[in-house]
Amino acid sequence: MIKIYHNNRCSKSRCGLELLENSGKDYEIVKYLEDVPTKTELKNIIKLLGIKPIELVRKNEAVWKTEFKNKDLTDDLIIEAMVNNPKLIERPIVINGNKAVIGRPTEKILEII
């Protein structure tokens, strides 16, 4: 089943969810700010996306700028930062089986559904 890591306050995330709704396919919504992914789950998502952890970070978030920017962080420390501050996680993330995309632009979701 398709899974979307969603934040309803984000317009891009809402667009991604609308695309899934219109697709007619079954999907599951993970409100990741409430149901925060574990370190293991985030590592798996990053692996499916085929990116480095830093590429999943929202670098314009205030907490990133005040707590982490310009620090020499390992991949594990970056993942821990996202687990402890889930609003740092880029969104929406859509997973379908062993494929995943960050839905920016929204049309990227079409590549895996």
Active site residues: 10
Where are the extended beta strands (E) located within 1-113? 2-6, 27-31, 93-96, 99-102
Q: How many residues does the chain have?
A: 113
Instruction: Say if residue 71 is exposed, middle or buried (CB neighbours under 10 Å; 0-12, 13-18, 19+).
Output: exposed
Eight-class DSSP state of 70: T
Contact (CB, 8 A) for 86 and 31: no
Quick one: how far is CA 69 from the chain centroid? 19
